[in-house]
Amino acid sequence: MKNVVQSVLFVLAVLTVTQTWAYSPIDTLPKFEFTAEEIPAYCDKVLAAERAEIAKITAKNLSEVTMQDIEQLEDLDADTTVQLYPVYLIANASTDENIRKNGFECHKKWSAQSIENANNEKIFNIVKAVKQSSTFSSLSLQDQKLVNDYYTGFQNSGMTIEDEKLREEVKAAQKKLSILTTQFSENINNARLKLTFTEKEMDGIPENIKQSFARDSESNYIVTTSFNSDFKPFMQYANDDNARKRLYLAYVNRANPVEQNETNNLKVLKEILALRLFIANSLGHKTYVDMQFATGAKMAPSVATVLTFLKELRTSLEEGLEEENNARKKIKCQMLSTCSGDQWKDLELNAWEVPYYNNIWKQQLTNVDPEEIKQYFPIRHVTKAMFEIYEELLGIRIRKVEGQYVWHESVELYEVAEAADGTTIGYFYLDLFPRDGKYQHAAIFPTQKRREFRSAAAYIDGKTYQKGDVRYPAVVMLANFPAPIIKDGIETTPSLLPHDNVTTFFHEFGHIMHGVLSKTKHYSQEGTSVARDFVEAPSQMLENWVWKKESLQRLSKHYQTGQVFPDALLQNMIKSAELGNASHYTYQIFLAETDLLFHLAEGPVNTSKWFNERYQRLMKTNQPEGSNRVASFGHLTGYAVGYYGYLWSKVFAEDMFTRFAGDNLFSPTVGMSYRKEILEKGGSEDAMTLIKNFLGREPNQDAFLKTVLKQ
């Protein structure tokens, strides 16, 4: 079972009850309302029911097994998600420390039981019986893909290992790995550190930003390690080099506190890499990378192909990176009383200096101030305009839903419906601002995927569904955009988005649309259940709209004057973005290669030392002594051997955007084609097939190279 064995979705029994209810789309929303005390018992009840139901399913005679039995297992996956995924969501979003703690403990139990199911020989025999049956070849391609994915998952869990002792060791390693990956993420979520800075140390920071910071009893400013709201603007504007270095070290070490020597993320990561290597070796693979590529679940044909792609791209960027670093060194020289003339050539760049000098350099050449730009992007207007663009392109309507439970007062719920007749398609939640203990980046959580009921009735948490009824998708966006400035309970300044946050918003909302609009036969092929190195492409394509004059005129509205984004400022902003292009993509390549090379290692790796040395070698910039930035590289868990996918998928994203060129930027015809050929089909077909069908031709790299290399 693909979802079970890969620890993504977990099997759970259908809870049969006698209560009935009046079916309506809004009533299918998942349950998010839990107290900390309720979670352990709820979680245990769900998992106990799962064990009982699996026993019933596996009692069937193998000679009688059919594709319907596979579908029944998949339906259980769907029911698990709607009951336990919301617990995982609030573990990442709640302000209650005990809810977060119990939520993550539930997730660990869930993962452990998933691994037990992944090693359940009776379940494997059901999948194997269908795959080896005489009727398998006559199944639809979607059915065959489902069975093959499940079978491959069981292989990766160790079910084909003949040595029973080794198989048990692999299972134990998988359980330990699941606990550690959750711990790694939890450590990052909980690490929102607070530092204090004097008025002098705040010199250079614009007044409106300073006003957003709290003050302590001595009137010092309290600055946190929250990236968008605090860390980023401080690093861009603070003139005090030592103050920037102090905040930088706190930020990169936030998930690796010295006082937590046994649970800090460097130690956790070391164990994660060792366990992954052990599992891969036990399954007959030289490295964990080899194991991941052997499944055939990626677009890229081999890791060698990926490494060549990354190296060639990095080589093409080297000249541009050198030019950009030289420009930063010249700025540094201008600001040092001891430097003049050509002495800039002898200077070195440090990681805590780059954002600061970068900001000055860009302002000198383009007269673009990020603080000026964000005044044109108040989040309420951006949200409204973004909705309208997606509505126009995809033939949908979005409306806010009131009166439903949300886990924080700032969270908003929306319905997506067909523009033509108002038929409900699905729902999404927006949770956009930082809080203590909350997930610290921007991501989509598919708490409930679309499910059309195949059986006459199913009873989940007291809800009765008839055959053909639909449980509607409900997707959650967690982000950490700058919050509104509140003084004495009154909003004095709305949330204003830097342009890169507008890009992130558009990108993540693309994932929401992928999750909500997907409509496949099989639940496990819905939405973003696609090849890991393709999953970003649909959203990356949509980022292009935030750089086009026509869409920026709709997305922008100065929060004070109401003016739209000026043409001259747009041209300067584009030029400003291009100034750091080589650095941006070289850093993405560095992270992608870091992920791959850690997992290509055939023994222990000193991850922090390796990260810092390679960073200096590729970026030509020093990390400070004591830096452990790798400890907060969250993608090493959920995106293991997959970070390269951001660049790999961008090749296809830029190519797909060519269909919207010219007068087609807001074309409903092209937009509907995109919806039908890419979004709705989810992972039901091979990604390359989807791309070819949408483009009407073979894809190529031309648009990608033009974007990245400015050719």
Q: Which residues are catalytic?
A: 508
Length of the chain (residues): 711
Longest CA–CA span in the chain (Å) reads 84
Give the separation between CA 485 and CA 557, rounded to whole angstroms: 18
Amino acid at 48: A
Give the separation between CA 317 and CA 700, rounded to whole angstroms: 20
- Please give the helix or strand (H or E) that residue 318 lies within, else none: helix 303-335
Q: Are 595 and 321 in contact (CB under 8 A)?
A: no
Q: How many CB atoms lie within 10 A of CB 306?
A: 24
Whole-Å CA distances, 592 to 549, 633, 689: 32, 11, 25
Q: How many CB atoms lie within 10 A of CB 686?
A: 15
Amino acid at 38: E
Structure tokens at 171: 């299972």
Give the separation between CA 622 and CA 612, rounded to whole angstroms: 8
- Our CA angle for 185, 187, 192, nearest 5°, is 115
Burial 468-503 (b: 16+ CB within 10 A, else e): eebbbbbbbbbbbbbbbbeeeeeeebbbbbbbebbb
Neighbouring residues of 176: CB distance < 8 A, sequence distance ≥ 6 = 271, 275
Give the separation between CA 593 and CA 122, rounded to whole angstroms: 40
Neighbouring residues of 87: CB distance < 8 A, sequence distance ≥ 6 = 34, 39, 42, 43, 103, 106, 107
Q: Are strands 463-466 and 470-471 parallel, antiparallel or unpaired?
A: unpaired
Burial class (CB in 10 A: 0-12, 13-18, 19+), 56: exposed
User: What is the SS3 assignment for 537-552?
Assistant: HHHHHHHHHHHCHHHH
590 three-state secondary structure: helix
Amino acid at 248: Y
Whole-Å CA distances, 426 to 30, 194, 393, 423: 12, 39, 17, 9
List Cβ<8 Å contacts ≥24 apart for 107-110: 107/182, 108/178, 108/179, 108/182, 109/43, 109/44, 109/47, 110/10, 110/43, 110/47, 110/80, 110/84
224 three-state secondary structure: strand
Q: Are 27 and 149 in contact (CB under 8 A)?
A: no
List Cβ<8 Å contacts ≥24 apart for 560-568: 560/375, 563/376, 564/376, 565/376
Residue with tokens 């390693």: 173
| Nearest CA among 410, 388, 529, 547 for reference residue 81 | 529
459 three-state secondary structure: strand
CA dihedral for 200, 206, 207, 208, sign (positive or negative): negative
